[in-house]
């Protein structure tokens, strides 16, 4: 997956309102913007803008049925996020393990004495 597509996914998921809408679509199934806005403080137009961001990121699809547009979650795109997080986690685990290995292989550094202690001696 391209870094731009990954940026779009993270951008869409970074916004709390979009995450909430995405979760509602996941749990409640396809919904119209009107239904999603009904129990929200957001206007229908604001909900549509958030849904369009989810669609652009590939996290939802819009399906027209007559006069209605129903939005459906497409969680398959989350696999790319999980893959990126797993790859990043593995990289950092290896770096930390090398750091621990080097730290345990090095002889301890000599104890430093303060200038005041040196002056007293």
Q: In what order do the strands lie in the sheet with 31-32?
A: 31-32, 68-73, 60-65
Residue 88 domain flag: no
| Mean pLDDT computed over 85-99 | 85
Tens digit of each residue's pLDDT (9 = 90 or more) over 50-71: 999 999 999 999 999 899 999 9
Residue 40 domain flag: yes
State which residues form the domain around 54: 3-77
If one counts the domains in the chain, the total is: 1
Element (H, E) at 95: helix 78-105
**pLDDT for 48:** 96
Q: What is the CATH number of the domain that holds 68?
A: 1.10.10.10
Indicate the pLDDT class of residue 117, thresholds 50, 70 and 90.
low
**pLDDT for 46:** 96
Residue 95 domain flag: no
Among candidate residues 38, 78, 70, the one with its CA nearest the CA of residue 51 = 70
Tens digit of each residue's pLDDT (9 = 90 or more) over 10-29: 999 999 999 999 999 999 99
Residue 96 domain flag: no
CB 55 within 8 Å of CB 71: yes
Pairing of strands 60-65, 68-73: antiparallel
pLDDT at 82 over 90: no
Residue 84 domain flag: no
**pLDDT for 88:** 85
């Amino acid at each position: 997956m391209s870094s731009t597509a990954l940026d779009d996914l993270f951008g869409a998921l970074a916004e709390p309102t979009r995450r909430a809408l995405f979760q509602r679509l996941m749990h409640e199934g396809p919904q119209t913007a009107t239904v999603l806005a009904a129990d929200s403080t957001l206007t229908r137009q604001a909900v549509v803008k958030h849904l369009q961001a989810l669609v652009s990121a590939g996290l939802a699809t819009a399906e027209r049925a007559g006069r209605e547009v129903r939005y459906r979650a497409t969680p398959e795109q989350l696999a790319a996020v999980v893959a990126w997080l797993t790859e990043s986690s593995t990289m950092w685990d290896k770096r930390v393990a090398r750091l621990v290995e080097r730290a345990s292989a090095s002889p301890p550094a000599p104890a430093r004495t303060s200038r005041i202690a040196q002056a007293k001696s």
